[in-house]
Amino acid sequence: MDLVTDTMTSLGDIFSSLGSCLGDGVDGVVTLLTPDSVVQLIFILLGILLATYLTLCALYHGIRGLYTFTLPWLLSKVSKPKLKEKYGPWAVVTGSTQGIGREYALALAKQGLNVVLISRNKQELENVSNEIKDLHKVDTATIVADFSEAGDIGKIVKKVKGLNHEIGVVVNNVGMMGPGYNMLGDMDKKVVKELLTVNMLPVTMFCHAFLPDMAKRGKGAVINISSVAGLVPVPFLAVYSATQHYISAFTQAIAQEYQGSGVVIQEVDPCQVDNASNKCLISCTSMLAPSPAAYVNSAVKTIGYNNRTCGYWLHSLMMTLLLNMTPTVFSSLVIWCCSKSQYKATVSNNNNNVVANGKKSPPPPQQPPQPAAAQQQQAKPAPTPAVQEKK
């Protein structure tokens, strides 16, 4: 308050002196503008500009936040969202036996959509399929498939097409984080290749296969799950972060290509989402790291309201503060510090494991730092590599 009063007083002094000197012509003004007062004036004007920019920024993002999260939430209280009627009768969800993918499958089924579920684990697929049918009385189809072989992805797409269902919603969720925070050179070559394949090829090929059909029908929704690690480069997660940047750039580009087609193309960038199967370095079930169910409950409501969202209000707020309202040099520093500390924790964890076991053990799966980057658990060993389909 004192600062505001002092600033206003200084400004008042400067302008009243300026006013009285104007009467004396240019000479009067030049006499008034001593080096000290010029510097003071510049700082005051810069302060005013910054305050105006931040206020407008806060206003813009506040309104966007209300439109993305509050409006659909309020509307869902008065009427049921009609995703099936809006987009089409069937949804496909890749990576749908656990985490975010599983919850999207359940949430879409809850709104009456039939669901094609794709993952590697046959038994888990059956479990999710039965749960969906029991809870929501819709049809399901399951496809047992592994996305880590580039050559198989075309076959998986063909399997889905072969079902001859009208696909109205595609959730490109499958993805892996790999070994966690690591130096690039310490990563296994095979894992690097797998990360690139699983994180980038399915999303591209599924969009390529289904988007044109949706555009022809003039309706549909494509939801590409990326990560906040796709919004900023995250050191020690270089490959993962780069693949998320790919998803982000790809989604934004196709959204522009298909603008006006009637198809909603949405990029969803979660921060940390807690996973039952994940053990975090930092204990994480909290408002900042919601359960997959809570996260998807929020994210699914944003379909059609915001084509680029973190999907969950607190994640959006954090990223807005970090990326839109903080100078890049500071946000980069925050991200660097978070990633570095996660990396150090991983290294010390590994060293402890080595001491405890007397031999090197693999790094534990981890979650992303808050709020620098989101990460996903390590891919489990592929239980069923073949591409099979069961309806």
Ligand X SMILES: NC(=O)c1ccc[n+]([C@@H]2O[C@H](COP(=O)([O-])OP(=O)(O)OC[C@H]3O[C@@H](n4cnc5c(N)ncnc54)[C@H](OP(=O)(O)O)[C@@H]3O)[C@@H](O)[C@H]2O)c1
- Which residue, 72 or 101, has its beta carbon nearer to ligand X? 101
Q: Are 281 and 233 in contact (CB under 8 A)?
A: no
CA atoms within 13 A on the CB side of 51: 7
Q: Which of 111, 140, 227, 316 binds ligand X (CB under 6 A)?
A: 227
Respond yes or no: is residue 240 known to be catalytic. Answer: yes
Phi, psi angle pair for 309, to nearest 5°: -145, 155
Does 367 help bind ligand X (rule: CB under 6 A)? yes
The one segment of 7-15, 41-49, 174-182, 323-331 that binds ligand X by CB under 6 A: 174-182
The strand pair at 90-94 and 114-119 is best described as parallel
Phi, psi angle pair for 321, to nearest 5°: -60, -40
Q: What H or E segment, with its residue span, contains residue 341?
A: helix 328-357
Strand partners, 223: 171, 266
From residue 114, give the alpha-carbon distance in Å to each of 2, 61, 95, 133.
Answer: 62, 35, 16, 9
Does 309 help bind ligand X (rule: CB under 6 A)? no
Residues 105-134 that bind ligand X (CB under 6 A): 119-121, 124
Amino acid at 97: T
- Which residue, 84 or 156, has its beta carbon nearer to ligand X? 156
Q: Which of 69, 87, 90, 147 binds ligand X (CB under 6 A)?
A: 147
Does 146 help bind ligand X (rule: CB under 6 A)? yes
The one segment of 38-46, 63-71, 322-330, 369-377 that binds ligand X by CB under 6 A: 369-377
Does 376 help bind ligand X (rule: CB under 6 A)? yes
Give the nearest distance from C-beta 145 to ligand X in angstroms: 6
Q: Are 44 and 7 in contact (CB under 8 A)?
A: yes
**Burial (0-12, 13-18, 19+ Cβ within 10 Å), 365:** buried
Residues 287-306 that bind ligand X (CB under 6 A): 292
Residues 191-220 that bind ligand X (CB under 6 A): 198
Give the nearest distance from C-beta 247 to ligand X in angstroms: 8
The one segment of 144-152, 179-187, 311-319, 332-340 that binds ligand X by CB under 6 A: 144-152
Q: What is the DSSP letter of 67?
A: I
- Which residue, 68 or 148, has its beta carbon nearer to ligand X? 148
Distance, in Å, from the CA atom of 220 to the CA atom of 91, rounded to the nearest integer, reads: 10
- Which residue, 84 or 145, has its beta carbon nearer to ligand X? 145
- Which residue, 32 or 163, has its beta carbon nearer to ligand X? 163
From residue 125, give the alpha-carbon distance in Å to each of 18, 102, 222, 314, 372.
Answer: 76, 9, 22, 31, 32
Greatest Cα pair distance in the chain: 91
Which member of 87, 104, 240, 295 is catalytic?
240
Q: Total binding residues for ligand X by CB under 6 A?
A: 35
Q: Which of 99, 168, 180, 290 binds ligand X (CB under 6 A)?
A: 99
Give the nearest distance from C-beta 134 to ligand X in angstroms: 19
Give the nearest distance from C-beta 312 to ligand X in angstroms: 10
Per-residue contact flags (x/-) with ligand X for residues 148 to 167, judged by CB under 6 A: x-------------------
Amino acid at 139: D
Q: Are 288 and 314 in contact (CB under 8 A)?
A: yes
Q: Which of 222, 225, 296, 300 binds ligand X (CB under 6 A)?
A: 225
Give the nearest distance from C-beta 289 to ligand X in angstroms: 7
Tokens representing 196 are 């690139």
Q: Are 76 and 103 in contact (CB under 8 A)?
A: no
- Which residue, 84 or 296, has its beta carbon nearer to ligand X? 296
Only one residue has tokens 């506040």, namely 62
Tokens representing 136 are 């929501």
End-to-end CA distance of the chain: give it in Å, rounded: 67
Interacting residue ranges for ligand X, rule: CB under 6 A: 95-101, 119-121, 124, 145-148, 173-176, 198, 225, 227, 270, 272-273, 275, 292, 367-368, 374-377, 379-380
Q: Which residues are marked as active site?
A: 240
